[in-house]
Amino acid sequence: MDAAALTLHDMTAADVDEVAAIESRVQSFPWTRKNFADGLAAGYRGWVVRRMGAMLGFALVMDAPDMAHLLVIGVRPDAQRQGVGERLLRRCIDHCRQAGLPALTLEVRPSNERAIAFYRRHGFAQVGLRRGYYPATQGREDAWIMTLALAADAA
């Protein structure tokens, strides 16, 4: 995919249906449309990537006083490994820098090896573990807490 053909926009309430549709395709236990709408209403920052008007992916971040939390990021299956996720993650990192936040943190399933490799390639390191954080088909699954420190990595 020609990365130049990708456009990045702030997520708005008008995007929520498409965002929820992508989320339901890429997650076993997806966020609902209401989760996304509530997040935007609460002031969380989100972005969407489009190509020729079609939404390919999204990310949603919650700011805290000491860091930002990447709550959810998703890319349509047919658009994965084409720079969409990287574009979204870079926007999240740029947002942290612009807001003066020294770190970006997230949770990821240990079973999601592709996502872990993606985050590691972008400088994230595992800093903790949340036991039983995610629902799973049988019981619960732990979450790795991964963080990207930005303080020494000024823009």
Q: Average pLDDT of 79-92?
A: 95
Listing DSSP states for 73-102 in one string gives EEE-GGGTTTTHHHHHHHHHHHHHHHHT-S
Q: Does the annotation count 119 as an active-site position?
A: yes
**Which member of 18, 23, 107, 141 is catalytic?**
107
Is this prediction's pTM over 0.75? Answer: yes
Query: Could you tell me the pLDDT band of residue 153, with boundaries at 50, 70 and 90?
Result: very low
What the block records as the tokens of 24 is: 């339901």
Domains of the chain as residue ranges with CATH: 3-149 (3.40.630.30)
Q: Which member of 119, 133, 134, 141 is catalytic?
A: 119
Binding-site sequence positions for acetyl-CoA: 73-75, 112
Tens digits of residue pLDDT in 40-56: 999 999 999 999 999 99
